């Protein structure tokens, strides 16, 4: 177990401008965590700080597991725009398994199982880059699925997809949750937050303004900023 994750007085600045923090957060196993906030609130940066893609300017990000290699292997991240290598869908998944140190004999089996999970088994041998946007995003989820991560970060995974592709992605995210993976997802789609999330962390100008169960947050936001955000986003739910 690499959870819980503790962020202690973490801040991140770029070019002399504070983008996130200072903030202190504990992320425990279990409930799906949705990071909500307007564009520029620092959602993506916060997730990258958690995932280790960015180093905090000050403060510390500490997992309960001490071995950095294991911490790395127990996390996966799905980005808004999936990046696929110029090889088959299957090979993209086996590549990730190879990097993770999975023995060669297991890779194809696990990759196929992951592709079946996201409904892409029939395109396993197609080049990944010629798949549709929704299929590529599902492939990104399959790549993460095959790794059996303890924590899955999702950075607005459906922001550039149509409603039907979005539904398919959400189904897979629910399957991750059901399989025991901790979901940490940034979105500004309130409907999605309600469908997939258990708790909400609301970011405003790089700070955590509110943390509450999703139903409570949406019905009775505890701050004027959050209320305005919900009101502003509602027409698009």
Sheet containing 58-63: give its strands across: 17-27, 5-14, 58-63
Closest residue by Cα to residue 146 from 110, 171, 118, 198:
110
Residue closer to another protein by CB (options 184, 214) is 184
Contact between 70 and another protein (CB under 8 A)? no
Give the list of residues 6+ apart from residue 23 with CB closer than 8 angstroms, or none: 7, 9, 10, 11, 46, 206, 207, 208
Closest residue by Cα to residue 99 from 143, 53, 139, 66:
143
Closest residue by Cα to residue 10 from 50, 66, 68:
50
Binding mask 109-148 for another protein (x = CB under 8 A): ------------------xxxx------------x-----
- Give strand pairing partners of 207: 204
Structural element, H or E, at residue 169: helix 163-178
Residue 229: CB minimum distance to another protein, A:
27
Residue 136: CB minimum distance to another protein, A:
10
Contact between 50 and another protein (CB under 8 A)? no
Residue 99: CB minimum distance to another protein, A:
5
Q: Which of 100, 159, 175, 212 binds another protein (CB under 8 A)?
A: 100
Q: Which of 14, 28, 83, 234 binds another protein (CB under 8 A)?
A: 83
Chain residues that interact with another protein, rule: CB under 8 A:
48, 51, 53, 72-73, 75-77, 79, 82-83, 85-87, 95-96, 99-100, 127-130, 143
């Amino acid at each position: 177990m690499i959870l819980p994750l503790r962020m202690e007085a973490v801040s991140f600045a770029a070019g002399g401008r504070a983008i996130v923090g200072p903030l202190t957060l504990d992320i425990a196993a279990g409930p799906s965590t949705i990071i909500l906030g307007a564009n520029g609130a620092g959602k993506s940066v916060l997730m990258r700080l958690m995932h280790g893609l960015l180093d905090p300017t000050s403060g510390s990000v500490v997992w309960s597991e001490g071995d950095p290699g294991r911490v790395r292997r127990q996390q996966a991240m799905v980005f808004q725009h999936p990046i696929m290598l110029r090889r088959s869908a299957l090979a993209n998944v086996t590549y990730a398994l190879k990097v993770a140190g999975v023995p060669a004999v297991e890779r194809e089996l696990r990759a196929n199982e992951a592709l079946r999970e996201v409904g892409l088994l029939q395109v396993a041998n197609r080049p990944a880059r010629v798949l549709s946007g929704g299929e590529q995003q599902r492939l990104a989820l399959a790549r993460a699925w095959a790794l059996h991560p303890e924590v899955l970060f999702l950075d607005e995974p459906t922001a550039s997809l149509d409603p039907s592709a979005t539904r398919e992605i959400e189904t897979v995210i629910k399957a991750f949750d059901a399989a025991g993976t901790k979901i940490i997802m940034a979105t500004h789609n309130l409907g999605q937050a309600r469908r997939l999330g258990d708790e909400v962390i609301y970011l405003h100008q790089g700070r955590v303004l509110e943390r509450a169960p999703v139903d409570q947050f949406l019905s009775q936001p505890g701050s004027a900023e959050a209320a305005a955000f919900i009101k502003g986003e509602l027409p698009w739910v």
